[in-house]
Amino acid sequence: MEKAVVVLSGGLDSAVALAFANNAGYQVSALHVNYGQRTELKELNSFNLICGHFGVFERLVADIGYLKAIGGSSLTDGNIPIEKGGVDPSRIPSTYVPFRNTHLLSIAVSWAEVKGASKIFIGAVEEDSSGYPDCRKGYFEKFNELLAVALVQKKVTVETPLIDLNKGDIVKLGIKLGVPFELTWSCYGESEEACGVCDSCRLRLNGFKAAGVADPIRYAH
Amino acid sequence: MEKAVVVLSGGLDSAVALAFANNAGYQVSALHVNYGQRTELKELNSFNLICGHFGVFERLVADIGYLKAIGGSSLTDGNIPIEKGGVDPSRIPSTYVPFRNTHLLSIAVSWAEVKGASKIFIGAVEEDSSGYPDCRKGYFEKFNELLAVALVQKKVTVETPLIDLNKGDIVKLGIKLGVPFELTWSCYGESEEACGVCDSCRLRLNGFKAAGVADPIRYAH
C-alpha cells in the first residue's frame, strides 16, 4: 500500500483532498499546521474529528508560531481586520499569509521523505479562491520541480486534486466520497458559529448553493 | 538602504555570508532556526555573538521543533550516530536533515516579504560540502524560480555568495571581511570543545589549513 501525506487544515477543501487520497487507495497520514491563525482551536478540532472519521491514526500537528511573529496577515495579526465585503479578484486579500503554503509543504515533504511516502495531497484551489499566489497551478508545478532536485530519495510529488474544480464541484465530489461536512471548519473568524460573510464562508456557501445541497454547519449570519 | 535577511546558524559559512551581505551595503536582519539539532545551544550562542559583533539588532529565532519529531537525521535523533570517519562523496551522510534548507528559506522568505527585504543570503557551499542535495546550485536556482511565482511583491531572491568557493577560499574571504571566527561554532557534536573529527570539523580544519591560518577555536582532538 503506497503511503501519502495529506495536508489537512480541517476546512472543506482539505477534507475532500483527504477523502480523495483515501479513496485512491493510499495509506494516509495527516498533517496539521498551527501557524498562529485566529481559528486554530476550531481547525485542530476539525482536523482530529475528520481523521477519526476516516480512520487516519498517524497524525502530525506541527507548530510554526514564528509565522504569527512575522505577521503581515489578518489571519495571524489581530490588529488587521479580515475583509467581509466579498471576494475581489483584482487584489490579494489581507488574509494572505506570506509564503504559507511553502511552509506547509516543506513539513509534509520532510515527513514524507522520512516515512517513505511518495505523495503529498493538498486541497489547494485556483478557481473560486481568494487569489493567493501559492494556490495557483504554476506554483505547485515549480514546487514539484524543486522536489526533483532537492531530495535524496527523489520520488515525492505534490498532488492537487482540487486545483481546477470550482466550489460546487468540490462539494459534489465531497458528497460522492462521503466527506462529513458537518465536521469541517472554513470560517476565518473565531466565533462559535461560522460568520457567513468572510471570503472563506462566502466561497463555501456559494459552493453548496451551486451543488444544490444545504451546508450542514450553522452560521451566525 | 536595501534590506536583506541572512540565514545565520552560527557556523563559519553563515558568518562569512553575513559579513558579505553587510559589506555589500545591505541593512541586515539575521534569522536563526532551531530545528532540535544537538548543537542548538552552541549555535544560538554563536548567532547572538556574531550579530553583536556586526551590529545586527534585528534578529529572529524561529523554532521548528517538528523537524526533530519527524527525525530521520543524526543531527536531530540522538539514536543515530554521527559519522566521524571522514567525508565520503559517494553517499549522503546521516547528518542530512530531510529538506531542511527549504524550511530555513521559507521562514526567511516570509520575513523578507513582510519587512520589504529584497535579498536572502545563505552560506550554502556546494564544493567542500557534505553533499546535501539542498546545498547545490541547482537547488537554489529552482527555489528562486519558485519565488518568482509564489510571492505577492515578487522581488525576493536568494543569494548564495559562497556556493562555488572551497573552504580555504571561504576562510580567506572571512579574514578579508573581518569575520570573528573565534565566535563561530561548526561542530556537529555537543561537547564543550569542537570534536575535530565529524565531517563539519574536518571540512573547517581543512579550510583553515588551505588558507594557511590557524583556527582560533579549541578542539578536543
Q: Which of B62, B99, B113 sits opposite A110 (nearest CB)?
A: B99
Tell me which CATH code domain B3-211 carries.
3.40.50.620
Which chain B residues touch A139 with a CB distance below 8 Å?
A: 146, 149-150
B61 in helix, strand or coil?
Answer: strand
Residues in chain A: 221
* A150 Cβ under 8 Å from any chain B Cβ: yes
Looking at chain B from residue 91 to 130, which residues have their Cβ under 8 Å from any Cβ of chain A? 92, 96-103, 106-107, 109-111, 113-114
Which chain A residues touch B107 with a CB distance below 8 Å?
A: 66, 70, 103
> pLDDT of A194-217, one tens digit each?
999 988 999 999 999 999 999 999
Report CB contact under 8 Å: B99, A113: yes
Q: Which of A134, A136, A149 sits opposite B142 (nearest CB)?
A: A149
Domain boundaries, chain B: 3-211
The parts of chain B modelled with pLDDT lower than 70 are 128, 153-154
Q: What is the pLDDT of residue A154?
A: 67
Instruction: Count Cβ–Cβ pairs < 8 Å, chain A vs chain B.
Output: 128
Q: What is the pLDDT of residue B134?
A: 87
* B155 Cβ under 8 Å from any chain A Cβ: no
Q: Which residues of A46-71 are buried (b: 16+ CB within 10 A; e: fewer)?
A: bbbbbbeebebeeebebbbebbbebb
Which chain B residues touch A99 with a CB distance below 8 Å?
A: 106, 109-110, 113, 150-151
Q: pTM for the whole thing?
A: 0.90
Nearest to A19 by CA among A197, A172, A216, A196: A172
Q: What is the pLDDT of residue B84?
A: 79
Report CB contact under 8 Å: B67, A110: yes
ipTM: 0.87
A221: exposed, middle or buried (C-beta count within 10 Å: 0-12, 13-18, 19+)?
A: exposed
Give pLDDT tens digits along chain A (221 positions). Answer: 899 999 999 999 999 999 999 999 999 999 999 988 888 889 999 999 999 999 999 999 999 888 888 888 887 887 888 777 777 777 778 888 888 899 999 999 999 999 999 999 999 999 767 778 888 999 999 999 999 999 876 689 999 999 999 999 999 999 999 999 999 999 988 788 999 998 899 999 999 999 999 999 999 97
Q: Transcribe B128-187 into DSSP letters.
A: TS---GGGSHHHHHHHHHHHHHH-SS---EEE-TTTT--HHHHHHHHHHTT--GGG----
Report CB contact under 8 Å: A60, B67: no
* A137 Cβ under 8 Å from any chain B Cβ: no
Q: What is the pLDDT of residue B189?
A: 84
